Amino acid sequence: MLIKDAIKDQQTVTSEGESTNTLLAGVKKHEVPNIITSNGITTELYRPEWDIGPEQIRHMIHAILRPGAISAWHMHEFQIDTIFVINGAIKLVLYDDRADSATKGQLNVFHLSRLRPTLITIPPGIWHGLQNLDYSESSFINYFNNPYIYSGPDEWRLPSDTNKIPYQFK
């Protein structure tokens, strides 16, 4: 017998392990297989034929998040971000607030880790935030179509607990 107010789980993945969520307009996702070798594991980070990320990589960073750290919310007017987690477990949340977007007002939530290598491309105008889900440092590589402009950053920010985005990090 069910307990009153129990909620049935909805399908989130197919039998092949693919997410059933629809990506926000312009967001691209590409899972990358790990290549098991005789001395370890090799993972390709980017190939042009994957059709993900900017046509030309102009800037790349490696970022480390402390345990439980949240880096949210930020958005770029011109910059394309492509994120690849290389250590730990990170939640990446995207919010589409673009006026002309077919997915305006919608969210994407990704749980990313080294165990299932995935590239996520975030187009301009998408608000995004990251949270380290691990009890140790997690890190990611982020590459861009434009280099960072020190004198005029293409960075717009809101606090992680803003009520302007319908998502709260926990």
Q: What is the DSSP string of 54-123?
A: -SS--EEEEEEE-TT-EEEEEE-SSPPEEEEEEESEEEEEEEE--TT-TTTT-EEEEEEETTS-EEEEE-
Classify residue 11 as exposed, middle or buried by CB count within 10 Å of its CB (0-12, 13-18, 19+). Answer: exposed
Q: Are 98 and 59 in contact (CB under 8 A)?
A: no
Residue 18's pLDDT band (boundaries 50, 70, 90)?
confident
* Homologous superfamily of 28-157: Jelly Rolls (2.60.120.10)
Predicted confidence at residue 76, as pLDDT, reads 97
Residue 54's pLDDT band (boundaries 50, 70, 90)?
confident
Residue 16's pLDDT band (boundaries 50, 70, 90)?
confident
Mean pLDDT of 87-106: 97
Instruction: Give 107's contacts (C-beta < 8 A, 6+ positions apart).
Output: 24, 93, 94, 95, 96, 166, 167
Domain boundaries, the chain: 28-157
pTM of the prediction? 0.89
